[in-house]
Amino acid sequence: MFNLLWLQSGGCGGCSMSLLNAESPDLLTALEVAGINLLWHPALSEATGSEVRTLLQALVDGEQRLDALCIEGAVVCGPDGSGLFHVLSGTDTPMRDWIVRLAARARYVFAVGSCASFGGVSSAGANPGEMRGLQFDGQQPGGALGAGFEPAAAGRVVNIAGCPPHPNWVLEALMSAALGELQAEALDELGRPRFYADHLVHHGCPRNEFYEYKASASRASDGGCLMEHMGCVATQAHGDCNIRLWNGEGSCTRGGYACINCTAPEFEEPGHSYLQTPKLAGIPVGLPTDMPKAWFVALSSLSKAATPERLKVNAHSDHIKVAPKIHPVNKKR
Amino acid sequence: MSRLVVGPFNRVEGDLEVKLDIDQGRVSDAWVNCTLYRGFEQIMRGKPAADALVLTPRICGICSVAQSAAAARALAQLQGCVVPPNGERAANLVQACENLADHLSHFYLFFMPDFARPQYAGEPWYDDTAARFRALKGSAARQVLPARAAFLNLMGLMAGKWPHTLAIQPGGSTRAIQPQERLRIVAILKTFRQFLEQATFGDRLENVADIADLTQLERWQQRHRDSDLGRFLGLSRALELERLGRAADRFMSFGSYAESGTPLLRPGLWDGGWQALDTDQIREDVSCSWLQDSVPLAPALGETRPQADKAGGYSWCKAPRLDGRVMEVGALARQLVDGHPLAEALVADSGGNVRNRVVMRLLELARVLIQMEHWALALEPGEPFYRDGGEPRDGVGVGLVEAARGSLGHWVDLRDGKIHNYQIIAPTTWNFSPRDGDGQPGALELALRDTPVQEGEVDPVAVQHVVRSFDPCMVCTVH
C-alpha cells in the first residue's frame, strides 16, 4: 500500500471539499483502486487528538513509512517568523515545523491547491499571515521548504495548483505517484502536473465562437465572450477546466463569470479588479498566450467587422435569441 | 482536578484545540482555542469593492457560497440593487445546495463516526452503528459520497463549480438557466430526494418535515429504526444525548432565503420565546483573544490587529455578543426562531443539546429540499437572472445570511470605491468564542461543562460529541 498523510494549514479546506466531489469513481473507490492507504485526513479520519500526535511522531521518527505528504493551505510563518499564527493544536508546535519535519521523511510531497503551491489567496494583500508556498513564494522559487529541497521521488514538490484544484487533478497525480510513474518530466516549470497545466482554460470554452468574432459580454449573465470586458483570462490561464468539467457540467466560464487564472502564482493580486478587463487605448492589456500583439489587434478588428448578427445579438442576451441558420442539404437532387 | 488538552481536533473543518479541567469525572471548565489566523480582514483593506466576491468565499471551502452571498448582499445594499425573481431563486437554490450538502457531510462524515469508536463496543447498538458509520470504511460513507457529489452537480449547472463560485453577484446570478437545464435541476433534486427517503429517513420528506413534537418523534423512530435518523435517535436515547452539551439556551438567526427581498425563514432571537433581532446590538469583545485590546466594537467599526503575546489571550477568535449576551447559532436556532413546532418542543424539553442540534439539522435537510423543488420549478428561463446595479456608493453595507452552521455577517465600509474596512462574524465565531471581558464563556465553553469523562480517557468521546454537535467550521471562525 502507498501511505498518504494529508494535513491542512493556511487555507480554507476547499481543496478537500473539492476532492470529495470526485465522481466515477468516487473518492473512496479511487483511493482504493489506486492502492492508496490514507494514514490520516483531518476531515475524514476517525483518529483524533493523542492518536494523531502518536502517528505524526512515528512518521517523523521514521518508524512508519510515508509515501506521500499532501499539504493543503499555505505554510503559516507569521507573526514575525514565529509560526504562531498556526500552532498545530495539542502539540505546542507551529504547523510549519511539523510540515518541515514530515516533508523530510516523505517520498513524494504534494502541495494541494494554490495556497500550498505558491501562497495563494492566504498570502494576498500585504500577506499579514506571512504565508508561503511549500517551494515557492508567489512566482519566486523558495518557499518554506526552500528551492533546493529534493524529495526522493519527483525531485521537487508537486504543485497541484488551483483554487480549488479539480478533484481528478489531485487523484490522477496521486494515482500516478502510487504507480511510481510520477517523474519530474511530468511537471511544468512551476511544478504543476502537465496533464492539466499544458492546456489553457480557453480550450473547450463554449463561448469560443463569441471569442472568434469578439462578440463580447458587457454585463453579468450575458452570453458573449468574457475576455474583452469582464476580466476573463482563460486564454492565458493554464488548466483543462473546460475539457474536463466541474461538478458534472460546470466551469467558471460556463458559470457565466471570468476565469481568474487560479492555477497561477500570484493570481491573488491581479493588480486590477478581477471582474473588469484592464485596457490600454481600448485594447485588453493581457493578450492571449503565444499571440503576437500586432496580430491580435489586426485579427480582432477584422473579426469584429465580420461578426455575424446572430452573435452580436446573442452576446448581449442571457439566452439564445437568434438561432443559427439552417442550410438546406440538397443531397437528393 | 486534572487538565486535558485535546488536539488536533479533526472532523471540524480546520484546526481546534480544547483545554479541559476535569473534576470527579466531569468537565468543570473548558477553554476553546481556535488555532489558525490568516488575516482576511487585513487582506481586504484597500481592495476594489467587487474583489470581496472573489476573496471572501475563499475564507472557507465548506461555507464558500454563504460567504459569497453575504458579500453580494453587503455590496447590493450600497448599489441599491433589486434582484429579479429568477436571481433570488437561483441564489436560494445555490445557497440551499451548499447548506444541505454540508448537513449531509456533517452527519455522515464528521459526527456519526464517533459512535463507531471501540469504547462503545459493548453497547447493544454498536455492531450495526459501526458497520454503518465507521469513518472511511462504513457503508454510509460509500453511499453518501456519490450521492453528495451527484447533488452538487446542481452547482455545476447553476454556479460553474463548488466551492468558490462567482455566480452570486449583487444584482443576481451570472448563470441564466435554460429550459432543459431547469429540468436537469429538477432531476438532480428528485434524485437527492430518493437518496434521503431511502437511506437517511426511510420515509417521505414531507412526513419528516411535519414531525411536530417529542411523542411524534418517538413514534416515528419506532417505525423507522433502520433509517439513519432512526439509528441516531435510538443510540441518542441509549446515551441520553439530550442531556449532553447544553449551552446558554439563547438562540439567534439572521433569517434565510429570499423572496421579493423578504427572508423566507424568519430572523430573530429566542430567549424563552421569540423576540425581534436588533443587530445594532452586536459587539465583538477581544479581551481573551490574541488581538490588541480595545473596548467591544460594533462590527462596522471593528478592528483586527493581532498580538500573539497578549497576556490573558488564548484564542485567535473574537467574542461576539448580542447586547452583551452569548448566542447559539445553527440549524436548531434557525428552525426555532422560524417557529418550527419540533424545534420549540425539543428546546422546551431539554434546551440546546447534542440530540436537538443533530435532529434539527436532519429535519432541515427534509424541509429545505422540499422548498428547493419549488424554487427549481419556479425558475422562468428567458426572464432575467441579473439586473445591473451600477457602481456601489461609499458607506457601510451589511450582508446577513444563514450559512449551514448559522448566522454569518459581513460589514463592508467603502470609501472612494475601495474597501476601507471589512469585518466578518461567522457562525462558529458565535459558537466557539472565548470568554469576554465579563468572564462569560462562549457557547461551546458553556456546553462542555459537566460533560462526563471516563477514567483514563485522553480524548474524551463525550467531549467529541458536544464539540461536533455544533458542526464547527474553524476556518470561518477566525478567517
Check which CATH number belongs to the domain holding B260 and give it. Answer: 1.10.645.10
Write the CATH number for A303.
4.10.480.10
Mean pLDDT of B145-172: 98
Q: Do A252 and A271 belong together in one domain?
A: yes
Look at A255 and B160 and tell me if their CB atoms are within 8 Å.
yes
Test the B interface: residue of A4, A7, A12, A218 with most B CBs within 10 Å? A12
Q: Do A208 and A183 belong together in one domain?
A: no
Give the model confidence (pLDDT) of B395-407 as tens digits. Answer: 999 999 999 999 9
User: Would you state the pLDDT for residue A255?
Assistant: 98
User: Would you state the pLDDT for residue B238?
Assistant: 98
Q: Do A230 and A257 belong together in one domain?
A: yes
> How far is Cα B386 from Cα B395, in angstroms, rounded to an integer?
23
Q: Are B66 and B406 in contact (CB under 8 A)?
A: no
Q: Do A182 and A226 belong together in one domain?
A: no
Mean pLDDT of B176-195: 98
> How far is Cα B77 from Cα A212, in angstroms, rounded to an integer?
37
Q: Is B116 on the interface with A (CB under 8 A)?
A: yes
Cell of A293: 500583439
List CB contacts (< 8 A) between A45 and chain B. 10-11, 135-136
User: Would you state the pLDDT for residue A185?
Assistant: 97
The residue range of the domain holding A181 is 2-197
Give the model confidence (pLDDT) of B253-286 as tens digits. Answer: 999 999 888 899 999 999 999 999 999 999 999 9
Neighbouring C-beta atoms of residue A181, cutoff 10 Å? 9
User: Would you state the pLDDT for residue B25?
Assistant: 97
Q: Do A38 and A174 belong together in one domain?
A: yes
3-state secondary structure of B234: helix
- pTM of full prediction above 0.90: yes
Task: List CB contacts of A82: < 8 A, sequence separation 6 or more.
Answer: A94, B308
Q: Do A190 and A207 belong together in one domain?
A: no
Q: Kindly state whether residue A332 falls inside one of the protein's structural domains.
A: no
Mean pLDDT of B349-353: 98
User: Would you state the pLDDT for residue B261?
Assistant: 84
Chain B residue closest in CA terms to A248: B153
Mean pLDDT of B195-204: 98
User: Would you state the pLDDT for residue B350?
Assistant: 98
Cell of B165: 463560485
Task: Report residue B292's pLDDT band, with 50, 70 and 90 as the boundaries.
Answer: very high
User: Would you state the pLDDT for residue A333?
Assistant: 62
Helix axes B64-79 and B85-105, enclosed angle (nearest 10): 150
Report DSSP letters for B81-137, one per residue: ----HHHHHHHHHHHHHHHHHHHHHIIIIIIGGGGGSGGGTTSTTHHHHHHHH-TTT
Mean pLDDT of B80-94: 96
Look at B149 and A26 and tell me if their CB atoms are within 8 Å.
yes
Q: Do A11 and A122 belong together in one domain?
A: yes
Q: Do A135 and A221 belong together in one domain?
A: no
Considering only the beta carbons, identify the residue of A49, A256, A318 that sits closest to B167.
A256
Give the model confidence (pLDDT) of B12-64 as tens digits. Answer: 989 999 999 999 999 999 999 999 999 999 999 999 999 999 999 999 999 99
Shortest Cα–Cα distance, A204 to chain B (Å): 14
Give how many domains chain B has, as a whole number: 1
Q: Do A67 and A127 belong together in one domain?
A: yes
User: Would you state the pLDDT for residue B374?
Assistant: 97
Give how many domains chain A has, as a whole number: 2
List CB contacts (< 8 A) between B37 and chain A. 76, 78, 85-86, 129
Give the model confidence (pLDDT) of B431-457 as tens digits. Answer: 999 999 999 999 999 999 999 999 999
Q: Kindly state whether residue A73 falls inside one of the protein's structural domains.
A: yes
Task: Report residue B372's pLDDT band, with 50, 70 and 90 as the boundaries.
Answer: very high
Cell of B311: 497576556
Per-residue confidence in pLDDT tens, chain A, 333 aa:
999 999 999 999 999 999 999 999 999 999 999 999 999 999 999 999 999 999 999 999 999 999 999 999 999 999 999 999 999 999 999 999 999 999 999 999 999 999 999 999 999 999 999 999 999 999 999 999 999 999 999 999 999 999 999 999 999 999 999 999 999 999 999 999 999 999 999 999 999 999 999 999 999 999 999 999 999 999 999 999 999 999 999 999 999 999 999 999 999 999 999 999 999 888 888 889 998 988 988 998 999 999 999 999 999 999 999 999 998 887 776
Test the A interface: residue of B3, B11, B12, B15 with most A CBs within 10 Å? B15
3-state secondary structure of B168: strand
The residue range of the domain holding B302 is 2-478
Write the CATH number for A98.
3.40.50.700
Considering only the beta carbons, identify the residue of A17, A250, A318 that sits closest to B160.
A250
Look at A121 and B384 and tell me if their CB atoms are within 8 Å.
no
Of the residues A137, A164, A197, the one at which a domain ends: A197
Q: Is B103 on the interface with A (CB under 8 A)?
A: no
Q: Kindly state whether residue A326 falls inside one of the protein's structural domains.
A: no
Q: Which amino acid is at B204?
A: R
Shortest Cα–Cα distance, B401 to chain A (Å): 19
**Neighbour-count burial of B265, counting CB atoms closer than 10 A to its CB (0-12 exposed, 13-18 middle, 19+ buried):** buried
Q: Could you give the strand order of the β-sheet that contains B395-403, starting from the edge strand earlier in sequence?
A: B395-403, B406-415, B418-425
